[in-house]
Chains A and B, each alone.
Chain A
Amino acid sequence: MSRLYACIISTELKRDKEVLQAIAHQFSYSIEMLADGILFDVSGLERLVGKPTQISQKILEELQKQNIPGSIAIAETVETAALLARQEHGSSHAVHEPETFQQLPLTDLPIEQDTLNIFSELGVNRVKDLLAIPEDELVSRYGRGFRDVVDVIEQKGRQLLTPNVKDSQVSWGYQLDAPVENFEQLIFLLNHGLERMFGEIARDALSTEHLHIAFKLTNKTKKAYEIKTSFPTLERAFWLKLINLRISLDPPDANIIAVDVVSYFTKPRPAQKGLYAVSRPEPERLLLTVNKLKNLVGEENVGVPVILNQRIAEAFTLDADVMPEGRERIETHGEKTVIAFSYFHPPVRAEVLVREDRLVFVKTHYFEGHVTEYSGVWKANSKWWDRSWKTQEWDVEIENKGIYRLCKVGKEWFLAGEYD
């Protein structure tokens, strides 16, 4: 069954927006606001009103009743309806018949100016001229992108109405009868709140990646949490676990008497799993796991390693706010195994025997032995403008043990780590 779309283009949209919406609502529930007008689905009105021309007349009558200027068109595709209605820029009460579509100038179509100039030189100025050219010729000459233009002129456009949502957030709140000490007791209540909010969000075909939770406390203060994910999801169990983990990291310091939750809208996540995609943890599971780990070992101890562009002893840090991305490296390097270094935390204090400016013997709490080979001394210092930082380092091989980095800071000797 074919669809029918109506479009009203108005020059006074700002002034007449609400009236136009009211008129559109008389004919349809499926409405999209445009920058210069309104689009609505009038499919099925043929039985109630009659032919498309009669539907147009009916809409026009409504416009005239309200004394609103507007240009009306009805067509089987969204693109055609919008193009027809835009012909006279909504300056007067006018109804555009679908038959006039072929007379439209090409300048109204989404065609690049260079291409339009070529068409103009060839004498192709209107839609009917372009329709006379075989579509395969057009696509092969102007690229696959031109297929969209061909679809529009052949009135086969696939654009759908997009609901315009006025709100960008939905909220829910609950006043408790009695103060609650532990947040976990509120989870069942929050589950109910999320169910309602996510239901509203899903109805608009949207999703969320940001929740704001605020607790009113018995000590007349408020405690607020911003919980964000790197991906939109409406999975309630996931959000509840995440909220619980975040709040347990920094619990409220008094009893809770009210809870308010705001969920911000975002576009849903396009989910596409490739056959050849490498395996990665699901984003929800990864985020929950990272939060569980933060609860276990501390927030600052879980994250992604980052190299610092500084000349300091350990020129790296752990970025706890970043999640692993799973990005594939395009250029491939040959596989290589290089000697890795492994730190001792804290550094191991050592006693070193130096004879004739040569390292001879190293003794630590864990082992002792003769130095068989060593390299150095490597002198390092940096951040002299901030604080004095100087070390002298040697790489030492200890008999029947390993190869270590030996440091001397002042008069103290330490093993900083091991080559492994």
Chain B
Amino acid sequence: MSHLALVKSLSHLQEEQKYSDEILLESTGLAFTRGTVAEIIGGPSSGKTSLSLSLLAKLTAAGEICAVVDSSDSFDPCSAILAGVELENLLWVKCGGDLEKSFMSADYLMQAKGFGAIWLNLNGLPQQKLRIVPKTYWYRYRTHVRDTPTLLLVTAEEPVTGSASQQAFIFERERAVWSGSGRYKLLREFCISLHSRKRFEGQPRRTRIEADYTDV
């Protein structure tokens, strides 16, 4: 009977499985679930790009291949390096501001399966255009990523994924901290508050994002 002690209980195994399916960002305390659509919504300078890069850094450092669908050619590889992203493990797709190409690119990437995360960055695209995207697209994406290790991360200024996303976070910049005085100032950090759009209980979480002036 002593051998049975070595056998893990079903609930224990399910717990382990659940944990391995999550990507936990210790710096913000957010956990993203693989095989789902997650959305980060925020206005200008709300930290959504910083957090997305942090997520890509975590996955690419472990050897996973991730992809960026850069809808409006806004991706800055230098920021990615500072965040710790392994550029060799990153596929960059520039869509030149074309909404249709962005969505088709994301579709192709999801069909490939096996990507750690696909970041569909819709920042900079006109909101009117984004609003006319049929909701069925998002349900199609949800079906594509289900039962795969891929996390589809969508960043936009306004909510776009509706109920197709399992997690949706709203980011707001409470304040920006500047150091120095007079003309000799430097941007130091953002104080961000974030709360889930799906779960209204609980207080918004607060985090800081620091500036890094290291030369890459």
Query: Which A residues fall within an 8 A CB radius of B?
Result: 278-282, 285-286, 288-290, 292-293, 296-297, 301-307, 315-316, 318, 323-329, 332-333, 335-345, 373-376, 395, 397, 401-404, 417-420
Contact = CB atoms under 8 A, between A and B. Distances in A.
A342 to B, nearest CB: 4
Which 9 interchain pairs have the tightest Cβ spacing?
A402-B44, A402-B45, A328-B63, A281-B114, A305-B77, A420-B49, A340-B79, A289-B112, A279-B149
Interface string B67-89: 00000111111111111101111
Contact of B50 (A285, A324, A333, A420): A420
Contacts of A326: 63-65, 89
Interface string B102-118: 00110011011111100
A307 B77 contact: yes
B62 A420 contact: no
A375 B105 contact: no
Interface stretch (B6-14, B162-170, B204-212): B204-212
B50 A337 contact: yes
B93 interface: yes
A345 B73 contact: yes
B130 interface: no
Contacts of A280: 63-65, 114-116
Interface stretch (B25-33, B137-145, B195-203): B25-33
Given A325-B89, A420-B47, A335 B54 contact: yes
B113 A285 contact: yes
A320 to B, nearest CB: 10
Given A278-B64, A336-B27, 19 more contacts: A280-B114, A285-B114, A296-B104, A297-B105, A301-B94, A304-B92, A307-B81, A326-B63, A333-B61, A337-B209, A337-B210, A338-B210, A341-B79, A342-B79, A343-B75, A344-B74, A397-B178, A420-B42, A420-B44
Given A335-B57, A337-B83, A397-B176, A301 B63 contact: no
Interface residues of B, number: 83
Nearest to A282: B114
B187 interface: yes
A343 B65 contact: no
B209 A338 contact: yes
| Residue picked from B65, B123, B211, most chain A C-beta under 10 Å | B65
B89 A327 contact: yes
A316 B87 CA distance: 11
Interface string B129-171: 0000000000000000000010000000000000000000000
A403 B45 contact: yes
A245 B134 CA distance: 29
Contacts of A288: 112
B76 A342 contact: yes
20 contacts: A279-B149, A280-B65, A280-B115, A285-B112, A285-B114, A296-B101, A297-B96, A304-B87, A307-B77, A326-B89, A329-B61, A329-B86, A335-B26, A337-B51, A340-B80, A340-B83, A342-B49, A397-B187, A403-B45, A420-B49
Given A289-B108, A417-B74, A279 B64 contact: yes
B189 interface: yes
A282 B183 CA distance: 53
Given A297-B95, A337-B209, A417 B76 contact: yes
A373 B185 contact: yes
A303 B46 CA distance: 28
Contacts of A325: 65, 88-89
Contacts of B54: 335-337
A336 B112 contact: no
A252 B179 CA distance: 61
A307 B76 contact: no
Contact of A296 (B50, B77, B105, B178): B105
B18 to A, nearest CB: 17
Contact of B176 (A338, A342, A345, A373): A373
Nearest to A289: B112
